[in-house]
Structure 1
Amino acid sequence: MSRHTRNGKSEAAKVIVVIADLTAVILGLWILFSLLDANRANNLVGWVHAAAGWLAGWSYNLFTMNTDWVRTVLNYGLPAVVYVVLGHALAARIRRVP
Structure 2
Amino acid sequence: MSRRYGGSPAGTVISVIADLAALILILWIAFYLFDANTANNVVSWIHDAANWLSGWSHNLFSIDSDNWRTVVNYGLPALVYLFIGHAVAGRTNRA
**TM-score (normalizing by structure 1):** 0.88
CA distance in 2, matches of 1:70, 1:63: 10
Deviation at 1:63, TM superposition (A): 2.0
**Partner residue, 1:3:** none
**Partner residue, 1:5:** none
Sequence identity percentage: 61
Q: Structure 2 regions of 5+ residues with no counterpart?
A: 1-6
Q: Is the aligned partner of 1:92 residue 2:70?
A: no
CA distance in 2, matches of 1:80, 1:54: 12
CA distance in 1, matches of 2:62, 2:19: 26
Large movers: runs of 4+ above 4 Å: none
**Partner residue, 2:69:** 71
- Structure index of larger Rg: 1
CA distance in 1, matches of 2:24, 2:88: 20
Deviation at 1:57, TM superposition (A): 0.4
Q: Structure 1 regions of 5+ residues with no counterpart?
A: 1-8
Please point out which of 29, 33, 43 is paired with 2:41.
43
Query: How many equivalent residue pairs?
Result: 89
CA distance in 1, matches of 2:28, 2:65: 17
**Partner residue, 2:31:** 33
CA distance in 2, matches of 1:95, 1:50: 32
**Partner residue, 1:59:** 57
Report the 3-state secondary structure (helix = DSSP H, G, I; strand = E; otherwise coil) of the residue aligned with 1:65.
Answer: coil
Report the 3-state secondary structure (helix = DSSP H, G, I; strand = E; otherwise coil) of the residue aligned with 2:8.
Answer: helix
Which letter maps to 2:9? E
**TM-score (normalizing by structure 2):** 0.91
What's the Cα RMSD here?
0.9
